[in-house]
Structure 1
Amino acid sequence: MEHTQDVDHPNRIVAVLAAAGIASSLTQTLVIPLISSLPEIFSTSATNTSWIITVTLLTGAVSMPVLGRLADIFGKRRIILCALVPLLLGSVLCAVSSGISVMLVGRALQGVANGITPLGISLLHDVLPAGRVGRAVALMSSSMGIGGALGLPLAAAVAQFADWRVLFWTMAAVSALILVLVRVVVPTDPARGRAGRFDPAGAVLLGGGLVSLLLFISKGSTWGWTSLPVLAAAAGALVLLVSWVLWELHCGHALVDLRQMTRPVVLMTNTASVFIGFAMYSQSLIVPQVLQLPTSTGYGLGQSMLGMGLWMAPTGLAMMAVSGPGARLSARFGARTTLMTGALVMAAGYAAASLLMGSLWGVAVSAAVISAGVGLAFGAMPALIMGAVPADQKAASNAFNALMRSIGVSVSSAVIAVILSTMSVQTQTHATVPTATGFRVGFLVGAAVSLLAALLARCIPSRGLLPGPAEQVARVMAEEEAGVQLS
């Protein structure tokens, strides 16, 4: 598809869409500082309040492919606006909730907005001049990590010094502002390439399968891996996802064109994305605990909740900083090289973290290095996907890639939780905390998974990319050498 060359104020478009992506990603870390307080706030058990995090993950996973297909049919800008509405309504519901049920409904609505980032990436390919796409897409791709990293210290500060409801009222105000800005600033994407009908049966089968799969992964350690609910979730996931594959292969208007997903470039990129998602989230589970554990443990760094958030803030800045260099690297050597480089940088960061765990600066710098690698990888994956699928499958294919990353995140949550709970010790205050060995094993697992992602990236074929945006962007940016700087 040709790029629109006469767009007014492209920097504003990038800024608004990136802000939308960051806002949607904030839903993942918004409640992390509140985890220990949630049972008291809602007068219920920790098991029940854990759903406040899980339900957002579930609705986000289901919404990504659904919104992606709807965007290919009805237009990406229109569906982004639609996705911002539940984010706004969900934030208001969370802010006014006095019981766990209303809170869960609000959090479920917030999760729908997780599909905004892949839609924004696809829209940037449609409306920006080719020379501006590379860095813009890299920045937009990193918005999920940027929002999570920058949101953590902000949420921690509010949780420590103000009422928790301020978090959600602020989220509601930000959502409303972004909704207006998207409506005013972002142009409608071209109608070329839109075709087909929505596949409700495919959406139900995939949604049910994903919910069952993520329940199995995220609740296995809590409910017991051999318990009846967990085994039922695993069986349900298998039956529903196999049924979905069979349905999609014979459906004339499939939710996700699986034949496109089996293209070697797309298949290998999506497989690598699972491991990138795993490695990305592992540090979010390990580093905050290392920072906050008391120094009396001998390896904890004794930071407050706010201090932890501030030391983690540079991780988001690191992702933002590599968007330009990553785009230029892709233009010169190809997105496959950028993906492989990002994975190797992540592995190096994890290796450094395992060696420097006793140093506050060492842990902070290592986390920033890991995040820089994530930023490089996140910028490369959409470029690979976009260059390998037809125009009318861009949003759906990009959303499916984001879904693969989300599955990697869920697997990471389960695996790291098992590692840290298995390698734990009881303190003098009878609290159970992970051992130093447990944290180091977690870091080394992150390094190993990152190396595996690099190997998968190396296996992505250099041939098989369709002529289109990726090649056009590469040519323009290579000619411009340093790329276009976004203000």
Structure 2
Amino acid sequence: MERRGVYPNIEKEIRVDSSVQTETVRPEVRPGALVGVLAFTGIVAALMQTLVVPLIGDLPKILNTSSSNASWVITATLLAGAVATPVTGRLGDMYGKRRMLLICTVPLVVGSITCAMASSLVPMIAGRALQGLGVGLIPLGISVMRDLLPPDRMHSSVAMMSASMGIGGALGLPVAAAVAENTNWRVLFWAVAVLSAVIFVLLWVVIPEVPPLGKAARFDVVGAICLGIALVSLLIAVSKGGDWGWGSTTTLGLFALAVVVLLVWAKWELSLSDPLVDLRVTARRPVLLTNLASVVVGFGMYAQSLIIPQLMQLPSETGYGLGQSMLAMGLWMAPGGLMMMLVSPIGGKLSSARGPRVTLLVGCLVIALGYGSSMFLLGSTWGLLVVVCICSTGVGFAYGAMPALIMSSVPQSETASANSVNALMRSVGTSVSAAVVGVVLAQMSVDVGGHSLPTESGFRTGLLIGCGVALVAAAIVTAIPSERKLRKAADERLMAEV
């Protein structure tokens, strides 16, 4: 009789057939090269979120359209990424993660080329939607690490891969602003197309093929379509509710459609033996609470990314704005991404020593500290830089711990799917954050020269909301069972089975 780890560090499975010795054999890899390539892949994928921010004011003129229509250039990336993430994760578990990593780079290249050549709204939206499909690279990359890296390297490597999301977003803003100010905007998209092609080559060379661990199954097309409809309805309502009116028929109708379709989808998933998302696994307390914490952490992380850039760029004549240019603002924000990169190894070591639950708790508390400190540091660029660095440190700890918590609680054959759902939860959190902060700033604003500007009280209120949300996330984390309790429960189940 053999006992083989199916839920690493948490659960074990009894193998009754003593004549069969089954071991997981990892292909030979160079850990440093693998982590470096996957982290670079995550940074480029994250660039898509901030790539067009410096162009927002010019998009209506570039595309010969209205400001309202031009906003879909950003929304399209969000929607495509949200829908694609759980689908690519499931396909990675079924058909191989290396194959899906390579496939996900193709729309990045095609989408970037489409945007670079676009002169009207429709092709630009199509290209940005294709770019959004690349978001699935990050949870797939984290899952590959679980399959290929030795256990002693996993926590620090996962933390680095997770930090790549913040690094790409933070560094992408000043780089994109510099390019937009000093050369043709199309250069941005041609550069990303080249980087995406480089990623394809690096992934092909460095990542070995790993046979799928899950059993052969038919892909849940109905589940994917239903989840896509629900997510698109929800995110459009959240993203556009401020423009359309939160009580408008369109907004309320989309929210209602999302709820109804999600209920139908859940019933359908529970009826299948091979669903798109295994809701029974997702409902386990560690996974459920980690995903809930991810929504709240995503909210807390994104609030400062919305508020602080506005504070920096408002005219100094307001009395609280700092009058920075887009490029200068991006440079002041960039150290936040560097802080995430610097603290990710520390977070990995803390997870290895004390468990990812402790690391996630520390991250939430540090984010709350960052928001709290803003009450005393507003009024100078250096003060806001300190706030950004503190918050980014907390995000670095939290983002590295969440995938580790998920992977310690799900079968290895469902790693990519579970990580993708967790990444989706963070995206939902950021979308809700954008909506809530937008409402707060819109309600607490004044008319200056025919323009509505948020007041200092509005900014402070938004930052205090971020602090409160981070504390709520910390409270949720304390309810996640410790690794010791999970081991004890697993051992008790095994003894009962024997």
Aligned to 1:139: 160
Equivalent AA in structure 2 for residue 22 of structure 1: I
Aligned residues: 466
Matched residue SS, 2:184: coil
Matched, 1:444 2:469: no
1:399-410 matches, cutoff 5 A: 399-410=420-431
8 Å CA contact 1:346–1:371 kept in 2: the answer is yes
Equivalent AA in structure 1 for residue 169 of structure 2: G
1:16-415 matches, cutoff 5 A: 16-415=37-436
Q: Is the deviation greater in 212-221 or in 350-359?
A: 350-359
Equivalent AA in structure 2 for residue 357 of structure 1: L
Question: Out of 462, 467, 479, which is 2:482 matched to?
Answer: 462
Equivalent AA in structure 1 for residue 122 of structure 2: S
Equivalent AA in structure 2 for residue 444 of structure 1: L
- When normalised by structure 1's length, the TM-score is 0.93
The alpha carbon displacement at 1:196 in A equals: 2.6
Mapped partners of 1:104, 1:191: distance in 2:
34
Equivalent AA in structure 1 for residue 189 of structure 2: F
**Deviation digits for residues 237-259 of structure 1 (CA, Å, limit 9, x no counterpart):** 01111110000000121000000
8 Å CA contact 1:3–1:126 kept in 2: the answer is no
8 Å CA contact 1:4–1:129 kept in 2: the answer is no
Mapped partners of 1:446, 1:362: distance in 2:
17
Equivalent AA in structure 2 for residue 222 of structure 1: D
The alpha carbon displacement at 1:10 in A equals: 1.3
8 Å CA contact 1:3–1:127 kept in 2: the answer is no
The alpha carbon displacement at 1:433 in A equals: 1.3
The alpha carbon displacement at 1:192 in A equals: 3.3
The alpha carbon displacement at 1:425 in A equals: 1.3
Mapped partners of 2:206, 2:339: distance in 1:
27
Mapped partners of 1:445, 1:462: distance in 2:
28
Q: Is the deviation greater in 248-257 or in 429-438?
A: 429-438
Structure with bigger gyration radius? 2
Equivalent AA in structure 2 for residue 440 of structure 1: R
Matched residue SS, 2:58: helix
8 Å CA contact 2:446–2:453 kept in 1: the answer is yes
Matched residue SS, 1:426: strand
Mapped partners of 1:373, 1:437: distance in 2:
25
**Deviation digits for residues 52-89 of structure 1 (CA, Å, limit 9, x no counterpart):** 01111001000011001000001111101111100110
Structure 1 unaligned runs (5+)?
468-487
Equivalent AA in structure 1 for residue 57 of structure 2: S
**Deviation digits for residues 193-236 of structure 1 (CA, Å, limit 9, x no counterpart):** 45432100000000000000101111111111122221221121
8 Å CA contact 2:445–2:453 kept in 1: the answer is yes
Mapped partners of 2:444, 2:346: distance in 1:
39
Mapped partners of 1:211, 1:94: distance in 2:
22
- When normalised by structure 2's length, the TM-score is 0.91
| CA shift in 2, pair 1:457/1:12, >3 Å | same
Mapped partners of 1:122, 1:325: distance in 2:
21
Aligned to 1:426: 447
Equivalent AA in structure 2 for residue 432 of structure 1: S
8 Å CA contact 2:29–2:148 kept in 1: the answer is no
The alpha carbon displacement at 1:328 in A equals: 1.1
Equivalent AA in structure 2 for residue 165 of structure 1: R
Matched residue SS, 1:36: coil
8 Å CA contact 1:4–1:126 kept in 2: the answer is no
Q: Is the deviation greater in 115-124 or in 128-137?
A: 128-137
| CA shift in 2, pair 1:466/1:15, >3 Å | farther
Equivalent AA in structure 2 for residue 437 of structure 1: S
Mapped partners of 1:197, 1:15: distance in 2:
34
The alpha carbon displacement at 1:190 in A equals: 4.0
Equivalent AA in structure 2 for residue 237 of structure 1: A
Matched residue SS, 1:432: strand
% identical equivalent positions = 54
Mapped partners of 2:30, 2:60: distance in 1:
47
8 Å CA contact 2:46–2:164 kept in 1: the answer is yes
**Deviation digits for residues 74-129 of structure 1 (CA, Å, limit 9, x no counterpart):** 11111011111001100000000011000000001011111110110000110112
**Deviation digits for residues 347-370 of structure 1 (CA, Å, limit 9, x no counterpart):** 000111222110211101111110
**Deviation digits for residues 374-398 of structure 1 (CA, Å, limit 9, x no counterpart):** 0100110011100101111111011
Question: Out of 5, 12, 15, which is 2:36 matched to?
Answer: 15
